[in-house]
Amino acid sequence: MKPGPKNLITDVSGLLVGNAQDDALKSGTTVVTAADPFVASVHVMGGAPGSRETDLLAPDKSVTEVEALVLSGGSAYGLDACSGVVDGLRAQGRGFQVRDAVIPLVPGAILFDLLNGGEKDWTENPYRALGRAAFEDASDEFTLGTVGAGTGALTAMVKGGLGSASLVLPDGSTVGALVAANPVGAVTTPGDKHFFAASFEIGDEFGGQGVDPATGLGLQLDSRKMQAMSPRENTTIAIIATDAALTKAQCQRVAVAAHDGIARATVPAHTPHDGDLVFALSTGNGASVPDTSLIGHAAAQCLARAIARAAFEATPAPGDLLPCWRTLNA
């Protein structure tokens, strides 16, 4: 396996990613869409999730395809970003057809960034407009770090952000991950130099610092974030994509496997105060008889790398509560 040409989720042919953020708000939204609807499912392992229309992604539910997936900051307010994407899809005449009615189906998930130092005294919920802007921005090229849903993200010790990574499998299938990393846990080992995901790094995609030579890691759970905020302002939300032809049930199994990537990159993971959620989607443009075990493994690898890349690519901004990895390791 090797990374795709962009090392982004958009190495999965046909996928587009759009970002929109408000730097004063210190929050934003990220959208994944495509020209055609795609099969998707979801798995939740955090104790405090926030989501919209995820029930329809269960394998036993009748709708098999959706038009887009949304990751957003803003806690419950951020779920309205999905409405902005629905508006954009409706304007294009896209959605689930029920006689003369067209209903765009857009599941989404949110993270908590309401107390990160940004200006949150709005009179009108800004996330619908951010969702529409992100949808209109959708492209196969996009920026990582302090953008989109990762704009206001924080890990335990350094700023989080938006991350992505990909792998091309031996059968030619591609797997990619996109994540907004805002966990309770740390993505860096004590000293802030090494990433917990270092064992899975390819090249120097997140600094090339290698594996921390120390042992006994994870016994002390230091957190600058906890000192600045409360334990409830967290969550890692992610999207796994593949061009392999998967059913909704198979997508759900890939989403389950992908959660291992969160645990490999974040210590601790899946806490009662995280809303850890992973979507998995299939465009169906690749292998028709896929190896779902290998796809799940690749999904976890990509997600671990994407989480580290999210923090590695974060950039400083006025009013930040936590330092960036790049600042600490300049």
Task: Give dist(CA 282, CA 245) in Å, integer.
Answer: 6
Contact (CB, 8 A) for 217 and 189: yes
Task: Give dist(CA 26, CA 122) in Å, integer.
Answer: 13
Task: Give dist(CA 165, CA 131) in Å, integer.
Answer: 23
Cis peptide before 268 (omega within 30 of 0): yes
Domains in the chain: boundaries: 9-329
* Alpha carbon separation from 184 to 29, 203, 205, 275, 325 (Å, rounded): 20, 27, 23, 10, 17
pTM over 0.85: yes
Contact (CB, 8 A) for 58 and 296: no
Residue by residue, pLDDT tens for the chain (330 residues) are 999 999 999 999 999 999 999 999 999 999 999 999 999 999 999 888 899 999 999 999 988 899 999 999 999 999 999 999 999 999 999 988 888 888 899 999 999 999 888 889 899 999 999 999 999 999 999 999 999 999 999 999 999 999 999 999 998 899 999 999 999 999 999 999 999 999 999 999 999 999 999 988 888 888 887 777 656 667 899 999 999 999 999 999 999 999 999 999 999 999 998 889 999 999 987 666 678 899 999 999 999 999 999 999 999 999 898 999 999 998
CATH placement of domain 9-329: 3.60.70.12
Secondary structure (3-state) at 79: coil
Q: What is the pLDDT of residue 106?
A: 96
Bridge partner residues of 22 (DSSP):
27
CA 87 to chain CA mean position, Å: 22
Place of tokens 């509560």: 321
Query: Which residues, 6 or more positions from 176, have their beta carbon under 8 angstroms from its beta carbon?
Result: 4, 8, 9, 10, 11, 12, 15, 164, 165, 166, 167, 240, 241, 242, 302
Q: What is the pLDDT of residue 289?
A: 64
Task: Give dist(CA 177, CA 281) in Å, integer.
Answer: 10
